[in-house]
Amino acid sequence: MKEKIEKILEEVKSFHADSKEALEQFRIQYLSKKGTITELFTEFKQVAPEMRKEMGMRLNELKNTIQDIIDEQYKQFETKSEGKTDIDLSLPVEAMKGARHPLSIVREEINDIFRRLGFVVAEGPEVEDDFHVFAALNFPPDHPARDMQDTFFISKSPNENKPTDVLLRTHTSSVQVRAMENNKMPIRIIAPGRVFRNEAISARAHCIFHQIEGLYIDKNVSFADLKQVLYHFVQEYFGEGTKVRFRPSYFPFTETSAEMDISCNICGGEGCNICKHTGWVEIMGCGICDPNILKACNIDPEQYTGFAFGMGIERIAMLKYQINDLRLFFENDLRFLKQFEKA
């Protein structure tokens, strides 16, 4: 048996597998259930007791040697096969191409225009309370916007006369209130953010959308200032020569209130489907801050006046890029998003 073991030891030591398959064959030949080593262990049972210790050691040594040979040669195959691929790992990677979401692009462009006019970006929470979204903005308790149909409530207050409801903000005007509460005069903020309304999703409406709010409070701020700032914004964003018009409107927190239209940037005012053949498209609500709002936030309306405006980012993006379905902004279809990749 001793000679047998020695012969096998020599045999395996000179073994060199030229493929993974050959190595596997080698393993089967020696180490599998019906392999040489198992056979030897069967023979080992007949070995005379005084030889047992030595033979056992030799046999185990042989087994371990074979296992080492397999492990060692297997490693070589691993590195060899990696080296064989035609990938050149030293080449620089192709620049990763990503695209910003159109709403982010538009938001930043709008922010930039107002930043250059001295506005600073402000933020407020999306989960708000009744006070900041409605009460402080002069919404009467029975105003339809407060209704379940419009607002997503997180929790309703038990006392109807003292609304402490927690809700998802329905407009970014809540940030106006927070700015007035916290800031020293003058206030000049722009507040982009997500808003929520309980509306059925369609091409023209969504339960989540984005707004940008503006608020400017200082001494002697007038409607003429509001018009000039918004006129400047429109020229910058939609191009020189874009016309604006203001239509009287109503918001509980502004007095005078207006809606601003621009001449349709798609047909140039000639009339098309987008402007419903009127030549004008509405882009935002605005107005002079109601003195009651200032008072509620401890700002003296005899000393200070201000204006506010709010626009939907989706609406601006739809006009700018001629997108006709609001849902596209939320579906993340790559065919849509890829169009906003920078060349």
Judged by CB under 6 A, how many residues of this single chain contact ligand PHE? Answer: 11
Q: Cα(85)–Cα(39) distance, rounded to whole angstroms?
A: 41
The amino acid occupying position 43 is E
Contact by Cβ (8 Å): 212, 194: no
Instruction: Report the residue closest to ligand PHE, judged by CB.
Output: 310
Residue 271 near residue 263, CB atoms below 8 Å: no
The residue within the footprint of ligand PHE, chosen from 221, 287, 297, 319 (CB under 6 A), is 287
Q: Contact, 287 vs 258, CB < 8 A?
A: yes
- Facing residues of 309 across strands? 214, 286
Site string for ligand PHE, 138-177 (x = CB under 6 A): ---------------------------------x-x----
Scan residues 209-228 and list those touching ligand PHE (CB under 6 A). 213
Closest to ligand PHE by CB, 217 vs 308, is 308
Nearer to ligand PHE, 173 or 265 (CB): 173
- 122 within 8 A of 191, measured Cβ to Cβ: yes
For residue 29, the number of C-alpha atoms closer than 13 Å in the C-beta half-sphere is 12
Residues 226 and 286: beta-carbon distance below 8 Å: yes
- Cβ(331)–Cβ(87) below 8 Å: no
248 vs 320: CA distance, rounded Å: 25
Site string for ligand PHE, 173-202 (x = CB under 6 A): x-----------------------------
Let me know if 126 is exposed, middle or buried by CB neighbors in 10 A (0-12, 13-18, 19+).
Answer: middle
Min CB(282)–ligand PHE separation in Å? 11
User: CA 257, CA 293: separation in Å to the nearest integer?
Assistant: 14
| Contact predicate 59/8, CB 8 Å | no
Closest contact distance (angstroms) between CB of 90 and ligand PHE is: 56
For ligand PHE, give the closer residue by CB, 134 or 251: 251
Q: Pairing state of beta strands 187-196 and 208-218?
A: antiparallel
Answer for which of 308, 316, 318, 328 binds ligand PHE (CB under 6 A) is 308
Nearest distance from C-beta of residue 284 to ligand PHE, angstroms: 7
User: Does residue 310 belong to the site contacting ligand PHE (CB under 6 A)?
Assistant: yes
In the complex, the smallest distance separating the C-beta of residue 296 from ligand PHE, rounded to whole angstroms, is 16
Cβ(325)–Cβ(272) below 8 Å: no
Q: Which is nearer to ligand PHE, 171 or 206 (CB)?
A: 171
Residue whose CB is less far from ligand PHE, 269 or 301: 301
Contact set for ligand PHE, span 243-282 (CB under 6 A): 251, 254
Site stretch for ligand PHE (CB under 6 A), options 13-21, 105-113, 274-282, 304-312: 304-312
Applying the rule CB under 6 A, the residues between 83 and 122 that interact with ligand PHE are none
Q: How far is the CB of 310 from ligand PHE (least distance, A)?
A: 3
Residues found in the chain:
343
CB of 293 to ligand PHE, least distance (A): 10
Cα 124 from Cα 186, distance rounded (Å): 19
User: Which part of the chain contacts ligand PHE (CB under 6 A), choosing from 56-64, 96-104, 269-277, 303-311?
Assistant: 303-311
Output 102 or 287, the one with its CB closest to ligand PHE.
287
Taking the least distance from each CB to ligand PHE, the nearer of 59 and 229 is: 229
- DSSP assignment of 27-63 equals HHHHHSTTSHHHHHHHHHTTS-HHHHHHHHHHHHHHH
Which residues in this chain contact ligand PHE in the complex, by CB under 6 A? 171, 173, 213, 251, 254, 285-287, 308-310
